[in-house]
Amino acid sequence: MLRIRDYDPSRDSHVLRACFVDLQDFERRLDLRIPPGEQVADFYLDLMFQRCRQFEGVVLVADVDRVMVGFVTILTRYCSSEPDDDPRAHGFVTVTLGPRILRAETAAIVAVALCLHRWGDLSTGGAVR
């Protein structure tokens, strides 16, 4: 059973890091210019949590049968006059829905749908296109 819930640092931190490393390494198999997950995980997770504190963000995790299988970060207040680094320069894959503003509950479902669209059915151990 799929469940979307709030991130709990006491039980999720090591799994969140492993999930990030797996996602980064999956992308690296598609493009070798992307740095390995172990090399960038701590830096980007620290940056993610810093942005959550700065912009009233939340991290949601997806569980399947009580096993964490994914996460999404939602910034509820993001107004910056400073340009951000282009996340693609650091190996991130970006997607956009244009000017739409989604509720947190809807955004998590959309994020999962975008991941499935991008990588296919992840339950088979590999992407199905």
Q: Could you give the number of structural domains in the chain?
A: 1
67-122 residue pLDDT tens: 888 888 887 766 555 556 676 776 666 666 777 777 766 777 777 777 777 777 66
Domain assignment present for 41: yes
Looking at residue 127, what is its pLDDT?
46
3-52 residue pLDDT tens: 888 999 999 999 999 988 988 898 888 888 889 999 999 999 999 999 88
Domain assignment present for 113: no
Residues 6 or more apart in contact with residue 76 via CB below 8 angstroms:
55, 56, 57, 58, 104
Domain assignment present for 22: yes
Domain assignment present for 129: no
**Residue 2 zone, left/alpha/beta (φ > 0; ψ -120 to 50; rest):** beta
Looking at residue 80, what is its pLDDT?
57
Which among 68, 61, 70, 57 is positioned nearest to 5, based on CA atoms? 61
Give the global pTM.
Answer: 0.59
Looking at residue 19, what is its pLDDT?
87
Domain assignment present for 117: no
Domain assignment present for 105: no
Domain assignment present for 45: yes
Domain assignment present for 63: yes
Range of the domain at 30: 2-96
Structure tokens at 60: 């949601």
Q: What confidence category does residue 129 fall into, taking pLDDT thresholds of 50, 70 and 90?
A: very low
Q: Which amino acid is at 9?
A: P
Rounded CA gap, 72 and 60, in Å?
A: 5
DSSP string, 102-113: --HHHHHHHHHH
Please say if the pLDDT value at position 128 is more than 50: no
Rounded CA gap, 59 and 16, in Å?
A: 10
What is the side-by-side strand order in the sheet with 67-75?
A: 2-6, 57-64, 67-75
